[in-house]
Amino acid sequence: MILILDFGSQYTQLIARRVREARVYCEIHPYNLALEKIRALNPRGIILSGGPASLYESGAPDLDDAVLNLGCPVLGICYGMYVIAQHLGAHSAGAYAREYGSATMVIDQHDALFDGLEGREHQVWMSHGDRLEALPEALAAIAHSGNSPYAAVRTHEGRLRGIQFHPEVVHTPCGAQVLRNFVLKICSEPGDWTMAGFVATKLAEIRAQVGSDDRVLMGLSGGVDSSVAAALVHRAIGARLMCVFVDNGLLRAGERARMEETFAARLGIPLRIAEAADLFVERLAGVLDPEHKRRVIGHTFIDVFEREAAALGGARFLGQGTLYPDVIESVSFKGPSAVIKSHHNVGGLPERMRLQLIEPLRELFKDEVREVGRELGLGAEIVEREPFPGPGLAVRIVGEVTRERLELLRRADAVVMDEVARAGLGARLWQAFAVLLPLKTVGVMGDGRTYESVIAIRAVESQDGMTADWARLDAAFLARLSTRITNETRGVNRVVYDITSKPPGTIEWE
């Protein structure tokens, strides 16, 4: 495995993704992970991430010298490079040379890091405040850029390397190759981490954990993660997996039927449907604040789930579709990141019901989960589907959630889903959906004046949902949406398109 030590860069997860794309298993840990734990992981190579700190500040995060002397190759990225240089005796120059954006790197000396790159000049992405002013004896420059004489450096024997640029971002087109070279050529990883191998290992692990007669309970949300996790657990223990799907009345059109069709009919995984639409709508009456809504929905979900679990006769394990990004957030050296929105999950349930957790996907990224899903025979309608928030349409109805407003939004949203599918936009868009606004505007239809609701269309492109760009959709496509929504949704006379990226907006409106 490759160990990534996190100094707090916003891009650390991307480093891990690029390494995984080279079919090499890697894990992210905080930069100050104890030496004995690092030894126990027995990494074939270590990558030091970038970070927001300046090495010239007091108390800047630093490494134990021993980590650099474990014997395996080390690659420092940006801040990680300064850490290496400083351990090798670089003087703090203190010169502040901010550089942010594209730059041209010129390769001065051949190195395995640059294998397969054509020509000497390459576009790279820089994002740093400090700059190395002079190299210590032990380091030599192997590339430079306009603003930094030391765009890439290495020790003479070639075990420690540093690069000033960020190879993990898409703005460094040669970056994936550079990281691939590091893990495959320099660290000699075999590059054989595949999802088929992962599935085989996990099946054995789940069987060992659950034993021969215990049962596993899972709540399905309709999303990719819980669906794939359930399919995996089912493959491992068959009918001893019990799935509950809570119909909270906050689902998109056709969702429940899709779940029944996929799970019960196609995969042969029995699905217990909990009818809870009325309960959710009742409890949401008069709730306007987005965070309050989420809490009400979270608590109601737990109540319903507990009731259904009891009816099923109980279990010793609770299966969950936790992914690696959720795990990293809670171990990152920054600590759990600030709660921007309290995401709806079944937190608190395991302790309350005395259930042990089974989280077979907790080492995987979303794209890897999709691959596991395909490996398990799940169709595109599950594996490729867009993310959907646990609190459902409730966070897409700004203001109070009522049966009527849910119905209205569901109809408008069905038009969006239908048009996106017809136009084949699903693969390009991270999400596309309708939002119901809490206001009415004046319109004219037929010969009469109308005073009706406004629907906003939200369509974004994104790699991982953490940042997103509003989709530059074709005007004719938007026109079709607008016409169909106003024609087919009684109570709507105006459609607007949301042109806000994230940041500053979030993807969901609440």
Task: Say if residue 434 is exposed, middle or buried (CB neighbours under 10 Å; 0-12, 13-18, 19+).
Answer: buried
Comparing CB distances to ligand XMP, the nearer of 6 and 508 is 508
| Closer of 249 and 390 to ligand XMP (Cβ) | 390
Site string for ligand XMP, 47-86 (x = CB under 6 A): ----------------------------------------
Kindly tell me which residue out of 10, 54, 104, 506 binds ligand XMP, with binding defined by CB under 6 A. 506
User: Do the bridges between strand 469-470 and strand 448-461 make them parallel or antiparallel, or are there none, so unpaired?
Assistant: antiparallel
In the complex with ligand XMP, the residue whose CB is nearer, 74 or 369, is 369
118-137 positions binding ligand XMP, by CB under 6 A? none
78 is a catalytic site residue? yes
Q: Of 116 and 347, which has the nearer Cβ to ligand XMP?
A: 347
Name beta bridge partners: 99: 128
| DSSP code per residue over 183-217 | IIIIS-------HHHHHHHHHHHHHHHHTTT--EE
CA 390 – CA 298 distance, rounded (Å): 9
CB of 389 to ligand XMP, least distance (A): 3
Q: 254 in the Ramachandran plot: left (φ > 0), alpha (ψ -120 to 50) or beta?
A: left
Choose, by CB under 6 A, the member of 61, 175, 321, 390 that binds ligand XMP: 390
Smallest gap from Cβ 465 to ligand XMP, in A, equals: 4
- Identify the CA nearest to 485 among candidates 412, 419, 427: 412
Burial class (CB in 10 A: 0-12, 13-18, 19+), 476: exposed
**What is the enclosing helix (H) or strand (E) of 106?**
strand 96-107
| Piece of 178-186, 278-286, 386-394, 487-495 that binds ligand XMP (CB under 6 A) | 386-394
Residues near 267 by beta carbon (within 8 Å), at least 6 away in sequence: 231, 234, 377, 378
Question: Pairing between strand 139-145 and 96-107?
Answer: antiparallel
| Active-site annotation holder among 78, 174, 187, 243 | 78
Closest CA to 50 of 218, 203, 172: 172
Active-site residue among 27, 99, 168, 368? 168
Cβ nearer to ligand XMP, comparing 115 with 359? 359
Spell out the SS3 assignment of 288-317. Answer: CCHHHHHHHHHHHHHHHHHHHHHHCCCCCE
Catalytic site includes residue 359: no
Binding track, positions 180-219, relative to ligand XMP; x by CB under 6 A: ----------------------------------------
Binding of ligand XMP by 387 (CB under 6 A): yes
392 interacts with ligand XMP by CB under 6 A: no
Query: Contacts with ligand XMP: how many residues (CB under 6 A)?
Result: 13
From 344, 396, 410, 458, residue interacting with ligand XMP (rule: CB under 6 A): 344
- Reference 319, options 380, 399, 242; nearest CA is 242
| Residues in CB range of 281: below 8 A, 6 or more apart | 249, 401, 402, 403, 406
In the set 184, 333, 389, 420, which binds ligand XMP (CB under 6 A)? 389
Smallest distance from ligand XMP to CB 294, Å = 6
Considering the complex, what minimum distance in angstroms separates the CB of residue 16 from ligand XMP? 19
CB nearer to ligand XMP: give 76 or 390: 390
Rounded least distance, CB 400 to ligand XMP, Å: 19
Helix or strand or coil: residue 510? coil
Active-site residue (options: 29, 87, 128, 166)? 166
Residue 438 vs residues 5, 414, 453, 494: alpha-carbon distances, Å: 46, 19, 7, 13
Which residue number, 450 or 506, has a Cβ lying nearer to ligand XMP?
Answer: 506
Question: Which one of the spans 112-120, 340-348, 360-368, 446-454 is the region binding ligand XMP (CB under 6 A)?
Answer: 340-348
Rule CB under 6 A: say whether 385 interacts with ligand XMP. Answer: no
Per CB under 6 A, 155 contacts ligand XMP: no
| Close Cβ partners of 323 (under 8 Å, ≥ 6 residues apart) | 225, 361, 362, 364, 365, 366, 369
Q: Which of 94-102, 257-265, 318-326, 339-347 is the region at the interface with ligand XMP (rule: CB under 6 A)?
A: 339-347
Determine whether 166 is an active site residue.
Answer: yes
Q: Is 507 in the site for ligand XMP (CB under 6 A)?
A: yes
The three-state DSSP-derived secondary structure of 118-185 is CCCEEEEEEEEEECCCCCCCCEEEEEEECCCCCCEEEECCCCEEEECCCCCCCCCCCHHHHHHHHHHH
Interface pick for ligand XMP out of 127, 155, 431, 453 (rule CB under 6 A): 431
Q: Which two tokens stand for residue 453?
A: 């609701």
Q: Does 391 engage in binding with ligand XMP (CB under 6 A)?
A: yes
Among 110, 120, 343, 490, binds ligand XMP (CB under 6 A): 343
What is the number of other CB atoms lying within 10 angstroms of the CB of residue 33?
A: 20
Which of the ranges 265-273, 320-328, 350-358, 388-396 carries the binding residues for ligand XMP, by CB under 6 A?
388-396
Contact with ligand XMP (CB under 6 A) among 30, 426, 443, 465: 465
With b for 16 or more beta-carbon neighbours within 10 A and e for fewer, the 343-372 pattern comes to ebbbeebeeebebeebebbebbbbebbbbb
Tell me which of 240, 341, 374, 480 binds ligand XMP, using CB under 6 A: 341
Structure tokens at 451: 């005073």
Nearer to ligand XMP, 84 or 297 (CB): 297
**Residues forming the active site:** 78, 166, 168
Question: Which residues contact ligand XMP (rule: CB under 6 A)?
Answer: 341, 343-344, 387, 389-391, 431, 465, 502, 506-508
